[in-house]
Structure 1
Amino acid sequence: MQTFSPRPPTLRLTALALAATALLAACGGGDDPAPVVPEETRTQDTRTFTADATATTFAAMAAAPGDVTAMATTSRWAGVQGGAAYRVEVPANWNGKLVMYAHGYAGTGAALGVNNPSIRRYLIQNGYAWAASSYSKNYYDVRAGVEDTNALALAFNKIAAANGRTLSSPTKTYITGHSMGGHITAAAIEDEAQTTAINKVQYSGAVPMCGVLGDAELFNQFAAMQVTAQALAGLPSYPTDKWSEISALVTSTLFTTFPSAPTATGAKYLSVLKNITGGERPMFNLGIAFGGSFPSAWGTFGSDGTVTGILNKNILDTRTLTYAIDGDAAGTTALNAAALKLTPTADANRLRRDGLRWIPQANGEFKIPVVSIHTLGDLFVPFSMEQVYQKRVAAKGNSAWLVQRAIRGVSHCDFTVAEQATAFDDMIKWERDGLKPTGDDVVTPATVAAASYGCKFTNNTLGTDESPTTNALRPATLANSVPCP
């Protein structure tokens, strides 16, 4: 005898829904839904990049004088995942915690490369595993940086197992990075990333260093540097994307030796530049004199506002910016009247249906410990980025989760390893013990302008792993600046 099994309620409802749809169609109703419009492509999407697929490991860290940790007794794996090269290092005495490192801007070449974290020695000595991605794309592609860094974090155990080491899942995952990697760090911890990223990671703490914490506001400030230079040089209305046609004239009008020897007009421009990039503060003059980072900002002039093909439309917006020439009220008024006001194209960096924005934002929406450090003489990713970030975080009611520190360096990312390791260690103690560390007020003009500003967290001790830039600049900085008390 044939038995009858009633349909489950969900199947009956589905059948009823299909029947209703057919009836509506027969009656002329129930139009087909509009087709999904695919997201547009960008110049960046047409570029190809290549990671070294032959690397399976990388060199052990050399022991430094006094090291008690055996630097060679770590697992070191290299490979390629999702088109991005990676490195992973796990000490023998792993403490169960993973640190993701995000490198800075790597240029526009086709070859992808991985950087070790500057605090690698600290991490190994303290039992942390770390991992770093090349990202699958070069250029200023923060979206790729967040996705590929997160994807690598999610693949940590799989990579370890494939290399013969079975590990438990990390108990905590942290993120840190320099420059563009600081932008990646800040974007990765945002609520927006938790909602829209394809690869989602819940980080427990973050340390952005010399980071683009104002995201697209950095490009607005670059544009402001250009339009004020043009205006003071007598070319206020010249199209900004034609910079190459006037750059030599503007430069010679403002400087006898660029950028360390300004003309009288150039001295006014440097006053404007100081105020765009964070206001009166120690190390600005030394940053101009020998820090070496301002030529990199000057080299961005002439942008069409797409961030070299990361966007399809112009994002530059200088409409709300005002400029100041110290001690020259009339000149200030004239400059603000003359300087071009750039207007962005609507929705140039809108939310997307296919993951993160093309330029992910640092909105200040997070609730994990963040310790940020920035050098005062940085004129490529200037100290003003910290001020923008502080205001955004405060506007979201999240100031309790942010500590910011000024460092008396004169160039971009000009930190000693000790300054970086201290910031990371203080973040860890905060996350672990609940005791918020101290920081600096980055927004009160009189505080920032004080001759001793930045002394509290500056550590000029040079160690084994310093960058060539810091090794060269810190002695010169000390010789040319007011000593800290």
Structure 2
Amino acid sequence: MHLPHPPFRRAATAVTTAALALTTIAPPLVAAPPATASAAAVGSAGGHAPVSLRGVHPTGATYAIEIPAGWNGTVLSFSPGYGQGAGDQRRPAGLGGNAAAQRWLLDHGYALAGTRPYGDGWAVEETLRDSATTLTVLARTAGKPRTTLAWGSSMGGNIAAGLAERRPDLVDGALPYCASVAGPVAMLNQALDGAFAFTTLLAPDAGVPLVRLGSAGTEAGANAAARNVLDAAQRTPQGRARIALSAAFAQISTWSVTGTPEPAADDWAGQQEQQYAAFMPTVFSPRFPLEQRAGGNLSWNTGVDYRALLRHSGRTRQVRALYAAAGLDLDADLTRLGSAPRISADPGAVAYMERNFTPDGELDVPVLTLHERGDNFPTVTQARAYSDAVRRAGDGPMLRQAFVDRPGHCGYTGAELVATVLTLETRVKTGRWGDGAGAPELGRLAARLAARDPDLGTARFVRFTPDRFLRPHVPGGLR
């Protein structure tokens, strides 16, 4: 079931002249010429001097705009990840990608824009709004872009997906990378499932609150107590088995630590070590700031069958092997989880996070997502949740997904980022994906880019299908 889209989904939303008049330009961090480039100069090589702007919107959000000489008419609008709000006017907005990708894009005629919201934490609501204002400033400065691509990292990728669904009048395509594209409700339900199993089986008397935390101090205390339990459990075979079971519900990757080789398919202990390393930031990721913003608890496990979740997790063999080695009864632990008291959500908090932002998969512009195979922050299974939502909405042809063969979060090379940007731009301009969005084609394109510019680094695109997301959520899906 889908909630109705906001009325601005298919209609252009203009930022008023009065609001723009209130926009203050902070002292530029780099030399900035007057913002008077002619719209007629867009796309004409050498048609205007480069433009470099840093400023502050009336909301307190900071923005950055870089337009090279000979702008080709394409702009990439960047949204940052969680916890990267401006806070004050001295914190400038970023432009996305990495330094090598930014340099390549500017050198090849692409404009870059970035918006850093004044709000901190899960500042999706503000960034969806303020990104539109930044693009209006760019259009008033240098003319309307021919092509606008939204991109963003982690939470910023959720915002890019939000712009693709809600503002097809504003953006022509989106590149969410390392992104929480399952949405915040599904993400924190996934974490709750891991935390619920962990505390029920390993810390029933530790008094670790899981939801409705009330304050940052409460959350910090709960995380410290959970960390102590986790470290103690990791020292025993029984504890390691139960950590692996909890990690299966949270869908923590068995290859999580950057710079390490992937454990073998039957290296159950090696896989568990990797899950242990990622357990706290995945399962006990920041919750209080999201509850505070949403006005209540946005997670629940009422009606959840943990036996069924384990069956569908792709981790059953690992968990059974570790339980057998520890001399534990897996069936008894699953029974214990089945009878433990459940947690309910606050419908108003869920509704807020549906608006800000839970994808429903309805796409009017093409989207290309990029994920690391061993990402946990969010888990790579979020890519599967998103593709399933898009397919159910009937818009599967609008989406392609790319994966790189490494663990970690948002650690892409310049070659990987530029290759995906060029592939998405080609789809926007031609109306066809062709063969260019597959792993071999992306790899060959990245190799050609790196051969001409070694600073872009190498690429590790790989064919990959993530495990099914255990508890996806679409707007209106609260039990």
TM-score, length-scaled by structure 1: 0.66
State the Cα distance separating 1:412 from its structure 2 match: 1.2
Distance 1:341 1:270 in 2: 21
3-state DSSP of counterpart to 1:222 = helix
Residue 287 of structure 1 contacts residue 378 of structure 1 at CA under 8 Å; is this kept in 2? Answer: no
Match of 2:295 in 1: 312
Match of 1:359 in 2: 356
Distance 1:174 1:154 in 2: 14
Match of 1:266 in 2: 240
Range with bigger deviation, 371-380 or 284-293: 284-293
3-state DSSP of counterpart to 1:379 = coil
Match of 1:95 in 2: 72
Residue 182 of structure 1 contacts residue 209 of structure 1 at CA under 8 Å; is this kept in 2? Answer: yes
Match of 1:350 in 2: 351
State the Cα distance separating 1:350 from its structure 2 match: 3.0
Query: Is 1:151 the counterpart of 2:133 in the alignment?
Result: yes
Match of 1:24 in 2: none
3-state DSSP of counterpart to 1:224 = helix
Amino acid at match of 2:103: R
Residue 90 of structure 1 contacts residue 130 of structure 1 at CA under 8 Å; is this kept in 2? Answer: yes
State the Cα distance separating 1:405 from its structure 2 match: 1.7
Question: 1:361-404, CA deviations, whole angstroms, 9 ceiling, x for partnerless residues?
Answer: 21111121111011122122111211111111111011111111
| Residues 73-472 of structure 1: pairs in structure 2 closer than 5 A | 74-82=50-58, 83-107=60-84, 110-111=87-88, 112-118=91-97, 119-158=101-140, 160=141, 167-190=142-165, 193-194=166-167, 201-216=169-184, 217-235=186-204, 239-240=209-210, 241=213, 247=223, 250-255=226-231, 263-274=237-248, 276-277=250-251, 289=274, 294-300=279-285, 303=287, 307-319=290-302, 321=304, 322=306, 323-324=309-310, 326-327=319-320, 330=331, 333-334=334-335, 336-337=337-338, 341-350=342-351, 359-436=356-433, 437=435, 464=455
Corresponding pairs, count: 377
Distance 2:201 2:438 in 1: 34
Where structure 1 has 5 or more consecutive residues not aligned to the other structure, the ranges are 1-50, 61-68, 161-166, 195-199, 442-451, 475-485
Amino acid at match of 1:367: D
Change (3 A) 1:109 1:144: closer
| Residues 35-74 of structure 1: pairs in structure 2 closer than 5 A | 54-58=26-30, 74=50
State the Cα distance separating 1:315 from its structure 2 match: 0.9
Range with bigger deviation, 142-151 or 224-233: 224-233
Distance 2:28 2:70 in 1: 22
3-state DSSP of counterpart to 2:56 = strand
Distance 1:124 1:280 in 2: 38
Change (3 A) 1:383 1:287: farther
State the Cα distance separating 1:316 from its structure 2 match: 0.9
Residue 419 of structure 1 contacts residue 457 of structure 1 at CA under 8 Å; is this kept in 2? Answer: no
Distance 1:169 1:254 in 2: 53
State the Cα distance separating 1:255 from its structure 2 match: 3.2
Change (3 A) 1:250 1:438: same
State the Cα distance separating 1:294 from its structure 2 match: 4.7
Change (3 A) 1:338 1:243: farther
Residue 153 of structure 1 contacts residue 201 of structure 1 at CA under 8 Å; is this kept in 2? Answer: no
Q: Which has the higher helix share?
A: 2
3-state DSSP of counterpart to 2:82 = coil
Distance 2:147 2:85 in 1: 34
Amino acid at match of 1:97: T
Distance 2:276 2:154 in 1: 16
Amino acid at match of 2:95: N
Larger Rg: 1
| Residues 8-27 of structure 1: pairs in structure 2 closer than 5 A | none
Root mean square deviation of aligned Cα: 4.1
Distance 1:365 1:134 in 2: 26
State the Cα distance separating 1:189 from its structure 2 match: 1.3
Change (3 A) 1:418 1:385: same
Match of 2:477 in 1: none
Amino acid at match of 1:317: W
TM-score, length-scaled by structure 2: 0.67
State the Cα distance separating 1:337 from its structure 2 match: 1.3
Amino acid at match of 1:114: A
State the Cα distance separating 1:287 from its structure 2 match: 10
3-state DSSP of counterpart to 1:347 = helix
State the Cα distance separating 1:244 from its structure 2 match: 5.6
Amino acid at match of 2:388: K
Range with bigger deviation, 455-464 or 358-367: 455-464
State the Cα distance separating 1:201 from its structure 2 match: 4.4
3-state DSSP of counterpart to 1:94 = coil
Distance 1:238 1:335 in 2: 18
Question: 1:405-457, CA deviations, whole angstroms, 9 ceiling, x for partnerless residues?
Answer: 2222211112112111111111111122233146579xxxxxxxxxx9x9999
Distance 1:405 1:347 in 2: 35
State the Cα distance separating 1:253 from its structure 2 match: 4.2
State the Cα distance separating 1:464 from its structure 2 match: 3.5
3-state DSSP of counterpart to 2:104 = helix
Question: 1:146-195, CA deviations, whole angstroms, 9 ceiling, x for partnerless residues?
Answer: 1111111122122x2xxxxxx332112111110011010001111xx34x
3-state DSSP of counterpart to 2:364 = coil
Change (3 A) 1:152 1:299: same
